[in-house]
Structure 1
Amino acid sequence: MRAGCRAAKGGRHTAAVWRRESEGLIQIMEAAGGRLIVSGMSEALALNEPVVFIANHMGMLETFFLPAILMAHGDVSFVVKQSLLDYPLFGPLLGATHPIALTRQDPRGDLKTVLTRGCELLKQGRSIVIFPQATRASAFTPSKFNSLGAKLAARAGVPIVPLALKTDFMRVGKWVRDFGSLDRELPIYFRCAPPIMPPINSRDAQAEVVAFIRCCLTEWGGQIDDGEVADEESEPES
């Protein structure tokens, strides 16, 4: 990762570098006893156009690992917290890949940023990865999973690829939230649903994404928490 960081700071960071760094992190995870199970990717990877990947969000592992998995489809940009770009090593790597950075201070402004900048990047051929939750959590709360990703895809006229994941192999940290203890008994799951093709009704697409994630987490023994109604303007976190 240090080499990738130097490349980013020197303006030499490329998609290939980012993907290679992500693959290296997966190898480290596997050496530490982790098991990665990936499924359902073939239809998404076969699409010859950018898409919006809409996923639940448990922790930092998905931000680290998804580039290696999704960049077989093409270049991707993540919707992330601005503060992630300040992380040592990881921040410069992420910052060199055209992320959509949100402040979390101005929900309306962040909404506009995602819709405007997201459409621009999609037109350039970059897929977007969005986690429509206000915070990372081990339990999936459907009512707090906002529809911003579906709205972006509908506005841009691109497919949605629902993405369910379970990454509680690494727990939320007690002292440093992004890095906690490892539970080697828990596999790491990533699964894509068949693409939802345009024209897209954002409300129907949102329901389909939520149902897919709920089904996968139930199968994997994940936690479902039916809680409060989502704030449609609350920004995603990465």
Structure 2
Amino acid sequence: MLGKQFFNGDKYQTSGSKRIIFDKIFLNTRWYFVYTYVKVIIQARRLVGKGSFNMEKFANSSYKILQNIENCGGKVFIDGIENIKKAKGPVVFVSNHMSVLETFVFPCIIVPMKKITFVIKDVLTSIPAFGPIMKSLDPIVVSRKNSRQDLINVINQGKDRIANGTSVVLFPEGTRRVEFDPEKFNSLGIKLAKEAGVPIIPIAIKTDFWGNGKLIKDIGPIRRKEPICISFGEPIIISGNGKAEHKQIIEFITNRINDFKNIKI
């Protein structure tokens, strides 16, 4: 274990309403929520500056954001947590990508069991406060300008991180999408898992609770009626050219997203 385990068992679901009065004072706007997550980022940035930001504090910061989501009326459903434990050692995680929420919440679910880093766009490393936090996690940085070079970087650096015991999280769609598009979900995760000789774990998410902003992408609308759903699939071993496993991952994400429509919290 890499610190406190925040969730017991295979599932987690928000029980009742945890929304607090401070959120209601802001008249159902996004601003109390923005204040709470920015506060967590600033606290984490200070720890980075002191050289004391580690995986345990990364997970703790992530859990604070999840609690803030619930305090602002968010309802969370997570399942498949036990699948993270089934794979011994590091893995490759691949997920569809809807909002910034999954980037902030994944650590508190995964990190107590596996050390992680992310594949991120280079522009994220230059964002004040957030950039230094991401750089402290030794991410794999891509430009999105040269796909061949990005592929080489992800494979080579990903193998290096995995060899040192760190699992890699990546979003094969490349950007946030309101609807999951299998055609845009590339096989980069499959290639990395095969080259590194580790399992791949698919993640299906529905995180439109936290919308994308028009002016500032990470400050979008808060949709309190939309449940937050995160589902981890079984670890998959890559064999052959990986096409069958890629299809299996696409089917898992597609089916779970359809299942999320029936979840009532």
TM-score by length of 2: 0.80
Cα distance in 2, alignment partners of residues 200 and 77 from structure 1: 27
* SS class of match (2:223): coil
Aligned to 1:208: 248
Aligned to 1:5: 45
Q: Which has the higher contact order (CA 8 A, sep 6+)?
A: 1
1:169 equivalent to 2:209? Answer yes
Aligned to 1:70: 110
**CA drift at 1:14:** 0.5
Aligned to 1:227: none
State which of 133, 147, 165 in structure 1 corresponds to 2:187. Answer: 147
Aligned to 1:57: 97
Q: Bigger radius of gyration, 1 or 2?
A: 2
One-letter amino acid of the counterpart of residue 44, structure 1: I
1:138 equivalent to 2:167? Answer no
Cα distance in 2, alignment partners of residues 200 and 65 from structure 1: 33
For the Cα contact (< 8 Å) 1:52–1:161, is it kept in 2? yes
For the Cα contact (< 8 Å) 1:57–1:131, is it kept in 2? yes
Q: Equivalent pairs: percent with the same residue?
A: 35
- Report the number of matched residues: 222
One-letter amino acid of the counterpart of residue 124, structure 2: L
* SS class of match (2:85): helix
Matches within 5 A, 1:185-200: 185-199=225-239
Cα distance in 1, alignment partners of residues 57 and 112 from structure 2: 13
Aligned to 1:88: 128
* SS class of match (1:115): helix
* SS class of match (2:222): coil
Q: Which runs of 5+ in 2 are unaligned?
A: 1-39
1:132-188 C-alpha deviation (Å, 9 max, x unpaired): 013211100001100000110011110010110110001111211222001101111
1:48 equivalent to 2:85? Answer no
Cα distance in 2, alignment partners of residues 90 and 194 from structure 1: 31
For the Cα contact (< 8 Å) 1:34–1:184, is it kept in 2? yes
For the Cα contact (< 8 Å) 2:190–2:238, is it kept in 1? no
Cα distance in 2, alignment partners of residues 33 and 165 from structure 1: 18
Q: Which runs of 5+ in 1 are unaligned?
A: 223-238
Aligned to 1:97: 137
TM-score by length of 1: 0.89
